[in-house]
Amino acid sequence: MEIKVEIITWAKVKKKIPYGVEDLIKNWWSIIWDKTIRTKPQPKWKAPPAGWLKLNFDGSSIGNAGMAGIGGLIRDDKAAIIMSFSGLVGICDANEAEVRVLLFGLQWAYENNQRPLIVEGDSTNVVAWASGHSNGPWKLQDLLAEILDLIRVLDPKIEHRRQSANEAADILAKAGVLRDEMMIVSSL
């Protein structure tokens, strides 16, 4: 009975499975190896080109709005971590946490002359706002204005990445919710 429950749960997650529940129960081993129903591999983090640095950022909110943490890191073209950070930003929604983490990362890069820079995040909203493709909510306009000022100076490449390619920043952001103060680790 336990295997049947696990197989049925697995079947609910997949889309367009050409098998019925009875097939899953009787032939589950051959079905899980069927190449037609396997999921696509998720993208992973890629190092920036030679001479470039990459800032990955993420925000995390427990609830909407709720306690929120931020996290990010800057790595070089050999994947060496130049700086990482993680911390609590208080109560806010996910968009505000994402905006705050991008601002923090860009400020640190500016203050420490970290260029040329590629910026990657998994929030389509924040990447669009920072790229100037759309306006953000009015309550975030002051923070977004600071981000746009830093972008004019740093001139980074700003790119959206799936969460699987932003995993380290995601972990740091989730840990940030549990911190009392900002943690910054830098090799500079």
Higher-pLDDT residue of 148, 9: 148
CA 123 to chain centre: 7
Tens of pLDDT along 52-99? 999 999 999 998 899 999 999 999 999 999 999 999 999 999 999 999
pLDDT of residue 39: 58
- The residues spanned by each domain of the chain are 2-37, 53-186
At the fourth CATH level, the homologous superfamily of domain 53-186 is: Ribonuclease H-like superfamily/Ribonuclease H (3.30.420.10)
What is the largest distance, in Å, between two alpha-carbon atoms of the chain? 62
Q: Is the pLDDT of residue 112 over 60?
A: yes
* Residue 168: pLDDT over 90: yes
Tell me, letter by letter, the H, E, C secondary structure of the chain. CHHHHHHHHHHHHCCCCCCCHHHHHHHHHHHHCCHHHCCCCCCCCCCCCCCCEEEEEEEEEEECCEEEEEEEEEECCCCCEEEEEEEEEEEECHHHHHHHHHHHHHHHHHHCCCCCEEEEECCHHHHHHHHCCCCCCHHHHHHHHHHHHHHHHHCCEEEECCHHHHHHHHHHHHHHCCCCCCEEEECC
CA 63/CA 177 separation, integer angstroms: 12
Which residue has tokens 């919710």?
177
* pLDDT score, position 20: 59
Query: 144-166 pLDDT, tens per residue?
Result: 999 999 999 999 999 999 888 88
What is the overall mean pLDDT for the chain? 85
pLDDT value at 30 more than 90: no
